[in-house]
A and B are shown apart, each in its own frame.
Chain A
Amino acid sequence: MANESTRVNAAGLFSGRGWHDQDHVPGIKSELLELNMGPQHPATHGVLRLLLQTDGEIVYKVTPVLGYLHRCAEKIAEGVNYKQWVVYTDRFDYLAPMCCNHAYVTAVEKLMGQEVPERAEHIRVAVSELSRIASHLIALATFGLDMGAWTPLLYCFREREEILNLLERISGGRMLYNYMIPGGVRYDVPNDNWVADVLDFVDLMEHNKLPEYNTLLTYNKIFIERTADVGIIDAATAVDYGCTGPVLRGSGVDFDCRRDDPYSVYHKFDWQVQVGRGEMGAVGDCWDRYIVRAREIEQSCRIIRQALQQLPEGSYQALALKAIVKVPAGAAYTRVESAKGELGHYIISDGGQTAFRNKVRSPSFCNLQVVEKVGVGQMVSDLVALVGSLDIVLGEIDR
């Protein structure tokens, strides 16, 4: 019920005066209400707890409470060797584990000065982008669900299932792959027509399924009413709060690690960075973040098509599979564009088989912080839209 009068009152909170500051109706006491949203709540996308102070329907203060999924993976990284820790990166962003694998092996290879065969890089890019599509599909599906649209969830999960089948054929795992290793990938492309099947899938996705989502959800009047002009993150706030990925691009900042801080073989492909343009409301609203993800699916399809059509012959591993990875002493910060944003690894090596320190900069962790600012003054139902549009995954927030 976000009508004009509540919007005006909500805006009034930014000046420091809430409804509870004054007696609107003489004799009726008004005070802030403490409300727990989560940790077991369908709209918090995992075990996130938001401690709200509400003034009626208006959010006065948001305090995210984290750590329900904490495993101290950075400590574990100091006790297992470089190859063994790839398994743990799968568990960060469990909706796009290939991107997390890619981030970690890129960091280790940079420290080692390890060359990676072209074929392996092409395979990595293809599976990372497939993972990104799968993650964005979940983002669209659950965001629609948060907004009250049930059907897109079923459609998006149907296509995600196809991606999981394809990734299972190349890696052996459906959800968690452990597929990339320093120096290459674990298995070559299977010879059961995998490449042709992926190309068929991206054609179907781009030309058939995305228009379907657009008619179902993107340009649905109710959906636009619920998301346009809601949860506006302006560009300066997004950068100041360290937002990255679709959240940053949704705010109109034209930045993507794949293009602007190139790694792997992304520079070889022709594709475009998508930014929010404020088509339905202000730049940086929930609809902009949604449409950036939807359009990135299309761009990922383009990248996959080029990566697999130009797939070079040759080796897919530079190091023997059983070789123990030794990394020379040194330190490096490496970042890649994962599905949620900039996934960074700061690895300090002491020359041994395990990392001396492995700090993970996870995009969801930084993106979530912005709700402390942008969530204030919203309706509670609009806060659900904001959190849904940030597309967080608690596995990498809590690590």
Chain B
Amino acid sequence: MEQNAIYELLAGALGDGALGYNEHALEPWADVAPAKVVEACRFLRDDPRLGFNQLMCLSALDWDGLDEAGKGKSTAILGYTDDGQPETSDRVGTGDLGVAYHLYSHALRHKFTLRLRVARDVAAVPTVSGVWTTAAWHEREAWDLMGITFTGHADLRRMLLDDAWVGHPLRKDYVMPDNWNGVPLQGQAYSANPFPVETGGPDQPAGDKPAEG
């Protein structure tokens, strides 16, 4: 089915939850209201004319730094000054966050893209893991790396980073810490052994040093 025909069906079902359709883009997409996303996904999956049974991809997005015309500058912090400071350490992100859903129908062989935007200080979207189970892991990853809370998710824990990690690295204003548990993260030499041998444990009498070599 044609992309704009799919959008017309979706807009008819969602009412004011469908916010717009970007027809002239390379890959057209529909904007939906975050509160209506589960309803939209259920409709797209269950309507026999659409039949989107596969969620191909769920991507978390950070629109910070991108202006209305789609021009902007990526503000990833990967460069450091000579004394080891991040180059844009005092940046505060203000732009919206977003989620993009890429859908596919095995029976009808068509694709569709849904997008939504959510304010940075809200950063919460209803989960679609009840519609496609594969979304559960995609959403955990999105929470881990982008810090978008998926309300109603059964198991929203960190997925790729350590449970004790602070911050969400894919946000444009993320500043990498200079060390993690004593392990330097910015390319400096180790100042000390980051994993010192603890002495005085139950297996090792106090003051007993491990054998050399």
In the complex with contacts A253-B106, A369-B136, A333-B145 CB distance below 8 A: no
Closest to A334 in B: B27
Q: How far is the CA of A78 from the CA of B61 in the complex (A)?
A: 12
1/0 per position for B59-93, CB-CB distance to A under 8 A? 11110001001111110101100000000000000
In the complex with contacts A344-B57, A346-B102, A74-B74 CB distance below 8 A: no
Query: In this assembly, does B55 line the interface, its C-beta being within 8 Å of a C-beta of chain A?
Result: yes
Closest to B155 in A: A63
Stretch from A10-18, A213-221, A353-361 forming part of the interface with B: A353-361
Taking a contact as CB atoms under 8 Å apart, the answer to whether B74 and A240 are in contact is: no
In the complex with contacts A79-B74, A79-B76, A239-B106 CB distance below 8 A: yes
Taking a contact as CB atoms under 8 Å apart, the answer to whether A331 and B25 are in contact is: yes
1/0 per position for B132-148, CB-CB distance to A under 8 A? 11101100010001000
Q: List 5 A-B contacts (CB under 8 A).
A: A67-B158, A331-B26, A346-B59, A354-B74, A361-B59
Residues of B contacting A329 with CB < 8 Å? 69-71
Q: A residues near B, CB below 8 A?
A: 66-67, 70, 72, 74-76, 78-80, 110-111, 239-242, 253, 255, 260, 329-333, 335, 342, 344, 346, 348, 350-352, 354-357, 359, 361, 365-366, 369, 373, 398-399
Q: How far is the CA of A330 from the CA of B69 in the complex (A)?
A: 10
Q: How far is the CA of A75 from the CA of B102 in the complex (A)?
A: 21
Closest to B72 in A: A350
CB distance from A24 to the nearest CB of B (A): 31
CB distance from A229 to the nearest CB of B (A): 23
In the complex with contacts A332-B26, A348-B61, A78-B74 CB distance below 8 A: yes
> Which of chain B's residues 94-124 have a Cβ closer than 8 Å to chain A?
100, 102, 106, 109, 113
Residues of A contacting B13 with CB < 8 Å? none
Taking a contact as CB atoms under 8 Å apart, the answer to whether B59 and A240 are in contact is: no
Residues of B contacting A373 with CB < 8 Å? 133
CB distance from A96 to the nearest CB of B (A): 20
CB distance from A107 to the nearest CB of B (A): 11
Q: Name the one of A70, A239, A357, A361 contacting B160, with C-beta atoms under 8 angstroms.
A: A70
1/0 per position for B159-173, CB-CB distance to A under 8 A? 111100000011000
Closest to B53 in A: A239
Query: In this assembly, does B54 line the interface, its C-beta being within 8 Å of a C-beta of chain A?
Result: yes
CB distance from B1 to the nearest CB of A (A): 15
The contact size tier of chain B is 35 or more
Residues of B contacting A79 with CB < 8 Å? 74, 76, 78-79
Q: How far is the CA of A351 from the CA of B26 in the complex (A)?
A: 14
Q: B residues near A, CB below 8 A?
A: 25-27, 29, 53-57, 59-62, 66, 69-74, 76, 78-79, 100, 102, 106, 109, 113, 132-134, 136-137, 141, 145, 158-162, 169-170
Taking a contact as CB atoms under 8 Å apart, the answer to whether B102 and A369 are in contact is: no
Residues of A contacting B26 with CB < 8 Å? 110-111, 330-332
Q: How far is the CA of A398 from the CA of B25 in the complex (A)?
A: 31
Residues of B contacting A330 with CB < 8 Å? 25-26, 70
Q: Name the one of A346, A355, A365 contacting B74, with C-beta atoms under 8 angstroms.
A: A355
Taking a contact as CB atoms under 8 Å apart, the answer to whether A351 and B57 are in contact is: no
Closest to B60 in A: A359
In the complex with contacts A357-B62, A369-B136, A350-B74 CB distance below 8 A: yes
In the complex with contacts A361-B57, A366-B137, A369-B137, A352-B106 CB distance below 8 A: no
Taking a contact as CB atoms under 8 Å apart, the answer to whether A346 and B160 are in contact is: no
In the complex with contacts A350-B74, A366-B137, A72-B169 CB distance below 8 A: yes
Residues of B contacting A242 with CB < 8 Å? 54-56, 132-134
Q: How far is the CA of A346 from the CA of B59 in the complex (A)?
A: 8
Residues of A contacting B170 with CB < 8 Å? 72, 74-75
Closest to A236 in B: B53
Taking a contact as CB atoms under 8 Å apart, the answer to whether B56 and A342 are in contact is: yes
Residues of B contacting A72 with CB < 8 Å? 145, 160, 169-170
Taking a contact as CB atoms under 8 Å apart, the answer to whether B109 and A356 are in contact is: no
Residues of A contacting B53 with CB < 8 Å? 239-240
In the complex with contacts A66-B159, A76-B78, A350-B133 CB distance below 8 A: no
Taking a contact as CB atoms under 8 Å apart, the answer to whether B161 and A75 are in contact is: no
Known contacts A72-B145, A331-B26, A351-B70; 9 additional CB pairs below 8 A are A70-B160, A75-B76, A75-B170, A331-B100, A342-B56, A346-B100, A350-B71, A369-B133, A373-B133
